[in-house]
Amino acid sequence: MISCIVIEDQKPARRILQKYIGDINELDLKGVFSNALDAMEYLRNHQIDLIFLDIHLPKLSGIDFLTVLNKKPFVIITTAFPDYALQGYELEVVDYLLKPFSFERFLKAVLKVEGLAESNSIFAESKIPESILIKMGYDFVKIQFNDITHIQADGDYSIIFCKNRKHHVSYSLKYWKDNLPINQFIQVHRSYIVNLQLVNKFSSTQIEIEKAIIPLGRVYKKKFQLWINKEGKN
């Protein structure tokens, strides 16, 4: 997970950012601030990975905030003014989003952060797990991530489909969104998460994975397509 905060003084812009962030499983929103001074106070006691930062702010501008910030996390600027783009990049921001920006453009900026995070030492300290312990009745069972083909929601429960078996467990789909490796699993429908490494083929409406046919939901297509495009370049 990439922890983040929003510094934005306009309520409509804050609502849009909160919605976009909520639609990306890998982002964990820790706070929303209407001015940079309150954000600085928060950062004195909390470490975060990413800031979504407006430039025109009361009390202290976004640019001035960056210049006085001692330890800079990743920064994505969100503003209606293009005039500060060069200055922003001189301050080593990851991306510069001009309002109004689409969810797809927002997602591209976040994917840049993910790419940088993978090679950044502050993320390299924690080893990516290869399995997870799941409670089944009175026992705990270890399941290898590579063995999971997909997961289907079943009310407050879920069904884990593995290559040779399946498990009905008392974990919601949200639990899986929060605990599966973000570089391997993606939600493709309101009721399904799939293992990207095991996708056989796909169309505009469905995905085939280990002979199972998974529906591809409309609101999840953009992110899935971005992953496909990224894989095609590798």
Choice among 27-31, 143-147, 173-177, 230-234 with the minimum mean pLDDT: 230-234
Rounded distance, CA 151 to CA 25, Å?
15
Which of 124, 157, 173 corresponds to the end of one domain? 124
Q: Is the peptide bond before 100 cis (omega within 30 degrees of 0)?
A: yes
Same domain as 113, residue 195:
no
In total, how many domains does the chain have?
A: 2
* C-alpha dist (Å) from residue 127 to 76, 121, 131, 181: 26, 12, 12, 11
Report, as an integer, the average pLDDT of 170-196: 89
What's the confidence (pLDDT) of residue 121? 46
Report, as an integer, the average pLDDT of 2-9: 94
Rounded distance, CA 207 to CA 203, Å?
6
Same domain as 118, residue 167:
no
| DSSP code of residue 1 | -
Report, as an integer, the average pLDDT of 193-198: 93
Same domain as 164, residue 104:
no
Residue 216 within any structural domain of the chain: yes
pLDDT at 157 over 60: yes
Report, as an integer, the average pLDDT of 204-223: 91
CA angle, residues 161, 157, 131, in degrees to nearest 5: 45
pTM: 0.52
What's the confidence (pLDDT) of residue 233? 47
3-state SS class at 224:
helix
Same domain as 117, residue 14:
yes
Pairing of strands 192-195, 148-154: antiparallel
Token pair belonging to 138 = 């009175």
Q: Closest Cα partner for 154 from 105, 116, 182, 190? A: 190
pLDDT band at 146 (very low <50, low <70, confident <90, very high): very high
CB 55 within 8 A of CB 77: yes
Higher pLDDT, 209 or 183: 209
Report, as an integer, the average pLDDT of 205-230: 87
Residue 138 within any structural domain of the chain: no
- Which residues, 6 or more positions from 80, have their beta carbon under 8 angstroms from its beta carbon? 56, 98, 99
* C-alpha dist (Å) from residue 232 to 202, 226, 228: 14, 10, 6
Same domain as 152, residue 111:
no
Report, as an integer, the average pLDDT of 32-41: 93
pLDDT band at 224 (very low <50, low <70, confident <90, very high): confident
Report, as an integer, the average pLDDT of 158-181: 90
- The string of pLDDT tens digits covering residues 79-138 is 887 776 566 556 778 888 989 999 989 998 998 888 776 655 444 444 456 888 888 877
- Strands (DSSP E) found in the chain: 2-7, 27-33, 50-53, 74-79, 95-98, 131-136, 139-144, 148-154, 157-162, 166-169, 185-189, 192-195, 199-202, 206-209, 212-215
Rounded distance, CA 35 to CA 138, Å?
49
Residue 139 within any structural domain of the chain: no
Q: Which domain holds residue 222?
A: 144-233
